[in-house]
Every structure is written in C-alpha cells, then in structure tokens.
C-alpha cells in the first residue's frame, strides 16, 4: 500500500538550480525507533496510518509517499569562519511540505537517507547515536519553548555505517519550518546568481516573514528572531557547538543538532565540541557568533538592493540593533529565571553577580537556577549578601518555576541512552524522552536520576560531530 501525505511542495517550484531531484536510497531492513504521534497530529497527518509498515518504509526511504517530490537542497557556508563554496544536503532528502493545523508550512525531510550529489566524501548516512541525540535534544528544546526543528520519526536501517568502527545505521525524519539557511543565500550571492537570489528572497519573505514588505524589513525581523533565540539558548545553558552559517535557519529555529550540549557546571567559556579547538562556539561566544552569521546573511542580500553602497550602510544599522535586542531578550529571560516580574536594567548586576558566584563555585547551571524556584538560593553558590539583594527584589516563585526547567537532557545521560540503544535496548531512550519532554514537571520520583549532575566518573566533556 502506498502512503499518501497532503504535500504541497513549494520549494520544488523554485528555480531548479536551488536543488537536485534525488530519491532516498533504500535500506536493507527498516526497524522502528520512535514515532512522534503528537507532532503528527499537529501537522494534521493521519497518525494511525503513520504507524503502519508502509510508513516504516517511508521513514526509511524505501517507499516514497504519494505527492512527495524528493529533493536535496543546495547551500554553501562559512565553517569555523572559512568559506566553503558548496555544501548542500549530503545526507538529507526533503520529501515535501505540509501545512499544519496552525496554518504553518513545514518541511518533512529524511536525514541519513543516502548519498546525493552534495555528499562529497560522505556516505550520506547517519548512525544511531546522532539520530537519538537529535531526537531527544530537539524534542526537549521544543518542550522548553525554544524554536526548533522537530523529530517526527526515527528508524534503524538494518545496515552498518562505518565511522571509527561499524555502527548501526539510522534515519531521522526531521520537521522544520524550512531548511533555508544563511548558506542558502550565500551560495547564490557567491555565484552572482541575482535572479536566483531574488526568487529565494521573495520566497523566504512570503513563507517566513509575511509581515516584511522589503528585504531590509526581512533582515530586521530575522535579527530580532536570532536575538531572542540566542537569549533562550543562553538562559538554558545550551551550547549549539557548530554555529556555521549553513547551520543557521532563516526561520529562526534551532537547527542541526551535532556536537551540542547543555552545560552541567557553569562556566561562560564552556566548550564541548572536539573539533572546536579555539572555542569559537563556546557558550559565551554564541551572541557574537550569531551576529557574525547575521552579517554574512546581510552581505548575501546586498546584491538585491538597487543602491549597494547605501544598502551596506542601511544593513549595518539594522545589524547593529542586534546587541540591544539581544541584551533586552537576555535581561527578560534571566530576569524571569530569578523570578522577577519586571526585570529592569538595574537587575543586570544582580544576574551577573549570580553568574559570577556560579562560575566560582562551579554550580550546576540547571539545578542552580531551579533552586531559586524552590526558594533555596543557598544552593546557587551565591553569598548571603547576594541572597539578601535578591530577596529584596521580591522574586515570585511561579515566575522562576516557569523559566527554570527541572531537567534538561544531560550529555552523560544521552551517551548512556545511545550506548544502550547500540546494544539493542531502546527502553532507556524512551524513558529519557518521556522525562525531558516534560521539563517543568517536578515529579521527583521519575526525575531524580535525570536531574542529577554527573558523578565525576560519569562526566562527559567532549562531543563529536561523528555524523
Ligand atoms: P554538518 O556539519 O552536520 O552541518 O554538515 C556539514 C555538511 O556535511 C553538510 O553539507 C552535510 O550534508 C554534509 N555531511 C555531513 N555528514 C555527511 C555524510 N555522512 N554524508 C554526506 N554528507 C554529509
Ligand atoms: Mg549542517
């Protein structure tokens, strides 16, 4: 039986130099890891039909659903600051787009679905570890209210992929507001394909910035979305790990969960990614890097403007608003974490004071802030003077409870879940997924092991792209 999804594939109607038509490469023996029924319903899809064997075949890339127009998208990007003139979907196929119950259009894509013309030296595949990591991380981020791509399904392929060793292959079905990246604009600008660039800009405005009447307005709104997104990451101790321009979604979602992690003990210079030798994407650098990435986006937009010298000046002014927008968003987010109903600029010092104490004490980021929601400020590592100042501001526990999750998907826990999955046991994955998708649920019984920071012998301090 062929599955039918209510696809409407607008990206595939763009100029065909923006993508390559390419079907997923079939796999040997598909097997279920997970299916996200709640998300299927939000997308207006038939959740029952998506549990069938036919759906398993679709999520594995073995059978195309009716209405799909599979494509691999073209993009380029700055990777760790170095320009790479062509990247593109080397291991992902966009099946098509659906319009959800909320009226928003979303991409449904298979990640790990085989080679494409953009695969370069890669095998086009993913192994089980990164698929499980992205499933857990993206669904937890969503549950904490952070704009993010989602996970609709994950399957095993019954094939091995070779990384350092042979590992079980897997495919993630990723749902995104789109996969348009800063690098998608960059590749067209670099090729001086102004017609393509215009088509992409018009398309992006219609799809993601319908309120923007012009390219500068789109840029201004993109800046605002990035400022709020990065402030949210910072407020959760989230480190993306690979903020290359090809990993920045124009729609403002967190995308491409590679070597990402939530911090345990707080330090502003924390880095996890094994390949980030100079800490370019360290926790505390994320706002500056976001700004740098936005500047690359603006640069790619300049050829669209009639007066380019003027455009550079105008865009510079727009981009320079990022600092203030980010500071405002940061104050709102961290103010709420302190339980403040109406954080004011003077509260910045109070927040910074706590972060300084947490750095000195190596306080666990998640549990330290959660302690404020539980009226246990002594557990933050702050001294009596800070606690008195905080109390004098009249913090509200309900505000702090809503801003400070009890659990985040901690790295050592994810690693343990992946190890179990590789050994054939998916139960720990499902248990952890259940916990981290209810991050504000203070049920101590099921949470305790997930809320605890790693013991010294459990600590994981490196993440690998290992895709
Ligand atoms: P990432 O660092 O994961 O964002 O990926 C950077 C680029 O490498 C993108 O163009 C990916 O499509 C490509 N890529 C990553 N892993 C693979 C793989 N296993 N096979 C082919 N291309 C890949
Ligand atoms: Mg990427």
For 334-390, what is each residue's pLDDT tens digit? 999 999 999 999 999 999 999 999 999 999 999 999 999 999 999 999 999 999 999
For 316-325, what is each residue's pLDDT tens digit? 999 999 999 9
Ligand with minimal distance to 466 CA:
1
Task: Please give the pLDDT value at position 448.
Answer: 84
Last residue of a domain, one of 353, 383, 404: 404
Q: Which parts are annotated binding residues?
A: 88, 90-91, 111, 123-124, 174, 181, 247, 256
- Annotated catalytic residue: which of 228, 246, 264, 265? 246
Identify the CA nearest to 295 among candidates 211, 374, 373, 185.
185
Residues 262 and 140 reside in one and the same domain: no
What sign has the CA pseudo-torsion 282, 288, 291, 297? negative
For 289-320, what is each residue's pLDDT tens digit? 999 999 999 999 999 999 999 999 999 999 99
Q: Which residues of 427-449 are buried (b: 16+ CB within 10 A; e: fewer)?
A: ebbeebbebbbbbbeeeeeebee
| Mean local confidence (pLDDT), 62-85 | 98
What sign has the CA pseudo-torsion 308, 314, 320, 324? negative
Residues 172 and 184 reside in one and the same domain: no
Q: What residues flank ligand 1, with Cβ below 6 Å?
A: 87-91, 118-119, 122-125, 242, 246-247, 256, 258, 465, 467
Rounded CA gap, 289 and 282, in Å? 10
Residue 168 backbone dihedrals phi, psi, to 5 degrees: -65, 135
Residues 162 and 56 reside in one and the same domain: yes
Q: Which parts are annotated binding residues for Mg(2+)?
A: 247, 256
Please give the angle made by the CA atoms of 11, 15 and 17, to the nearest 5 degrees. 105
Residues 167 and 194 reside in one and the same domain: no
* 379 CA → ligand 2 middle, Å: 38
| Minimum CA distance residue for ligand 1 atom 17 | 122
Last residue of a domain, one of 113, 148, 176: 176
Task: Please give the pLDDT value at position 120.
Answer: 95
Strand intervals (E) in 238-336: 238-239, 261-262
Residues 277 and 373 reside in one and the same domain: yes
Strand partners, 82: 79
Domain count across the chain: 2
Residue 274 lies in a domain: yes
Rounded CA gap, 365 and 362, in Å? 8
68, 102 contact by CB (below 8 A): no
Residues 218 and 121 reside in one and the same domain: no
Band of residue 467 on the pLDDT scale cut at 50, 70, 90: low
Share of the chain above pLDDT 90, in %: 96
Nearest ligand 1 atom to alpha carbon 247: 4
Residues 166 and 134 reside in one and the same domain: yes
Strand partners, 113: 125
Given the DSSP bridges, would you call strands 126-127 and 166-176 parallel, antiparallel or unpaired?
A: antiparallel
Residues 28 and 153 reside in one and the same domain: yes
Residues 38 and 136 reside in one and the same domain: yes
Residue 429 lies in a domain: no
Residue 188 lies in a domain: yes
Residue 426 lies in a domain: no
Mention every residue, 6+ apart, whose C-beta is less than 8 A from residue 17: 74, 193, 196
Residue 338 lies in a domain: yes
Residues 225 and 311 reside in one and the same domain: yes
Residues 15 and 121 reside in one and the same domain: yes
Q: How far is CA 57 from the centre of its chain?
A: 26
Residue 344 lies in a domain: yes
Nearest ligand 1 atom to alpha carbon 467: 16
Last residue of a domain, one of 404, 423, 439: 404
Nearest ligand 1 atom to alpha carbon 123: 20
Residues 90 and 209 reside in one and the same domain: no
The token pair at 328 is 């405002």
Mean pLDDT value across the chain: 97
| Mean local confidence (pLDDT), 184-205 | 98
* 179 CA → ligand 2 middle, Å: 10
Ligand with minimal distance to 162 CA:
1
Band of residue 227 on the pLDDT scale cut at 50, 70, 90: very high
* Crossing angle (nearest 10°) for helices 286-301 and 194-208: 120
* 370 CA → ligand 2 middle, Å: 32
Rounded CA gap, 133 and 141, in Å? 12
Domain residues for the domain of 58 are: 11-176
Task: Please give the pLDDT value at position 442.
Answer: 78
The verdict on whether 246 is a catalytic residue reads yes
Task: Please give the pLDDT value at position 26.
Answer: 98
Cβ burial of 123 (10 Å; 0-12, 13-18, 19+) is middle
For 241-283, what is each residue's pLDDT tens digit? 999 999 999 999 999 999 999 999 999 999 999 999 999 999 9
């Amino acid at each position: 039986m062929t599955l039918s999804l209510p696809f409407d594939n607008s990206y595939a109607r763009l100029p065909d130099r923006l993508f390559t038509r390419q079907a997923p490469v079939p796999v040997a023996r598909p097997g279920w890891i997970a299916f996200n029924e709640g998300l299927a319903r939000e997308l207006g899809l038939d959740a029952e039909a998506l549990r069938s064997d036919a759906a398993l075949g679709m999520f594995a890339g073995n059978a195309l659903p009716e209405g799909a127009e599979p494509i691999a998208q073209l993009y380029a990007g700055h990777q760790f600051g170095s320009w790479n003139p062509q990247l593109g979907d080397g291991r992902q196929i966009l099946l098509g787009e659906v319009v959800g119950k909320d009226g928003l259009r979303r991409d449904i894509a298979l990640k790990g679905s085989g080679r494409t013309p953009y695969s370069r030296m890669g095998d086009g595949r993913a192994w089980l570890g990164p698929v499980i990591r992205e499933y857990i991380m993206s669904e937890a981020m969503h549950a904490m209210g952070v704009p993010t791509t989602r996970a609709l399904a994950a399957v095993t392929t019954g094939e091995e992929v070779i990384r350092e060793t042979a590992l079980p292959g897997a495919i993630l079905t990723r749902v995104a507001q789109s996969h348009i990246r800063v690098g998608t604009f960059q590749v067209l600008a670099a090729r001086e394909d102004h017609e393509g660039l215009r088509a992409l800009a018009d398309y992006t405005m219609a799809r993601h910035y319908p309120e923007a009447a012009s390219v500068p307005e789109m840029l201004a709104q993109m800046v605002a979305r990035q400022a709020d997104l990065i402030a949210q990451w910072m407020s959760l101790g989230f480190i993306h790990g690979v903020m290359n321009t090809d990993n920045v979604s124009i729609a403002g979602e967190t995308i491409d969960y590679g070597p990402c992690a939530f911090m345990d003990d707080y330090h502003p210079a924390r880095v996890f990614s094994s390949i980030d030798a100079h800490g370019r994407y360290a926790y505390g650098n994320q706002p500056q890097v976001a700004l740098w990435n936005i500047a690359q986006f603006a640069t790619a937009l300049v050829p669209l403007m009639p007066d380019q010298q003027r455009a550079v000046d105008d865009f510079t002014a727009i981009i320079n608003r990022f600092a203030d927008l980010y500071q405002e968003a940061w104050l709102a987010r961290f103010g709420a974490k302190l339980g403040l109903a109406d954080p004011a600029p003077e509260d910045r010092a109070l927040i910074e004071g706590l972060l300084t104490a947490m750095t000195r004490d190596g306080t666990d980021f998640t549990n330290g802030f959660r302690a404020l929601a539980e009226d246990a400020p002594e557990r933050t590592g702050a001294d009596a003077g800070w606690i008195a100042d905080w109390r004098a501001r009249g913090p509200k526990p309900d505000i702090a409870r809503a801003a400070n999750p009890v659990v985040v998907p901690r790295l050592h826990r994810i690693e343990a879940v992946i190890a179990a999955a590789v050994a054939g046991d998916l139960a720990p994955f499902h248990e952890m997924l259940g916990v981290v998708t209810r991050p504000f649920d203070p049920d101590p019984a099921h949470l305790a092991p997930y809320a605890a920071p790693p013991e010294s012998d459990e600590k994981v301090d490196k993440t690998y792209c290992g895709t």
